[in-house]
C-alpha cells in the first residue's frame, strides 16, 4: 500500500510541476516560478483533499533524496566556465563571505526585533544555505530542524522570485554581483534562477552557494554568541 501511495505522490508531483513549467513558459514572470506555482498547487491539494502530509511524503521523501544529486549536477556549468571563474576567485570569495555574514545577521536580528524566542533565532540563522546543511547546522545549535527546512525554502523561493526587482532597484546589472547575490542568499533555488539568466551567472551562483555553505557552517555558532 505504501509503495502505491509513494508512486502516486511522485507521479502527481511530476505532473503538477510539468503544469507549472508550462504556465511559466507562457507567462514568463518571476511570480510564475515553477517551484512556487507547483508548491502552491500541492499545498492547496493537501488542504482541500483528505490526503495527509505524512501520506504525501511517503513519495515526497523519495523526491527529496534527489536533492543532493541535483546539487552535484550544478558542477557542469562550473566546468564550462572554468577558465573565467579562475580569474574571479578573489571577488567571489570576498563577496560570498560578506553575503554569508549578512545572511546570518539580518535573519537573526529581524527575528529578534520581531520578538521571537531563542529557538527560532537559532533555527533561522542558516536559512541561506541548502536544506541538508541548514538542518545539520540547526541540529548542532539545538534549533528546530523541520522548521529550518521551511526557512530555507522561503529564502530560496523569495530570492528567485524577487531578485530581478531587487537588482533593478539597486542597479546591480553585472553577472558577478547577481550570481554571488543569488548563490549566497538563495542557495540552489536561486542558482536555478541565475541559470535562466545565463550560464556564467549560474556558474558564479553555484560557486557562491558552495562557498557560502562552508562559511556559514563554520561561523554560525560564533555569530550566534554575538547576536543572541
**How confident is the model over 98-114, as pLDDT tens digits?**
988 998 898 889 988 98
Provide the pLDDT for residue 56. 77
Name the grid cell of 223. 555569530
Task: Return d(Cα 192, Cα 100) in angstroms, integer.
Answer: 19
Task: Return d(Cα 112, Cα 96) in angstroms, integer.
Answer: 24
Torsion of CA 21, 23, 29, 30, to 10 degrees: -50
Give mean pLDDT, residues 59-86.
71
Residue 78 near residue 202 (C-beta atoms within 8 A): no
Provide the pLDDT for residue 117. 85
Provide the pLDDT for residue 68. 67
Average pLDDT score over the chain: 83
Amino acid at each position: 500500500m505504501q509503495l502505491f501511495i509513494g508512486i502516486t505522490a511522485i507521479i502527481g508531483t511530476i505532473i503538477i510541476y510539468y503544469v507549472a513549467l508550462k504556465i511559466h513558459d507562457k507567462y514568463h514572470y518571476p511570480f510564475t516560478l515553477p517551484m512556487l506555482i507547483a508548491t502552491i498547487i500541492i499545498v492547496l491539494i493537501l488542504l482541500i483533499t483528505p490526503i495527509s502530509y505524512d501520506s504525501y511524503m511517503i513519495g515526497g521523501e523519495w523526491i527529496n533524496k534527489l536533492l543532493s544529486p541535483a546539487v552535484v549536477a550544478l558542477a557542469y556549468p562550473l566546468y564550462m566556465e572554468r577558465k573565467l571563474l579562475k580569474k574571479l576567485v578573489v571577488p567571489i570569495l570576498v563577496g560570498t563571505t560578506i553575503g554569508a555574514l549578512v545572511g546570518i545577521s539580518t535573519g537573526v536580528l529581524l527575528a529578534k526585533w520581531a520578538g521571537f524566542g531563542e529557538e527560532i533565532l537559532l533555527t533561522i540563522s542558516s536559512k541561506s544555505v541548502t536544506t541538508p546543511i541548514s538542518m545539520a547546522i540547526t541540529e548542532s545549535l539545538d534549533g528546530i530542524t523541520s522548521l529550518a527546512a521551511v526557512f530555507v525554502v522561503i529564502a530560496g523561493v523569495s530570492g528567485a522570485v524577487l531578485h530581478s526587482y531587487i537588482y533593478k532597484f539597486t542597479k546591480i546589472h553585472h553577472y558577478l554581483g547577481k550570481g554571488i547575490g543569488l548563490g549566497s542568499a538563495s542557495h540552489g533555488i536561486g542558482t536555478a534562477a541565475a541559470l535562466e539568466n545565463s550560464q556564467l551567472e549560474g556558474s558564479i551562483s553555484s560557486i557562491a552557494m558552495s562557498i557560502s555553505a562552508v562559511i556559514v557552517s563554520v561561523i554560525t555558532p560564533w555569530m550566534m554568541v554575538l547576536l543572541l
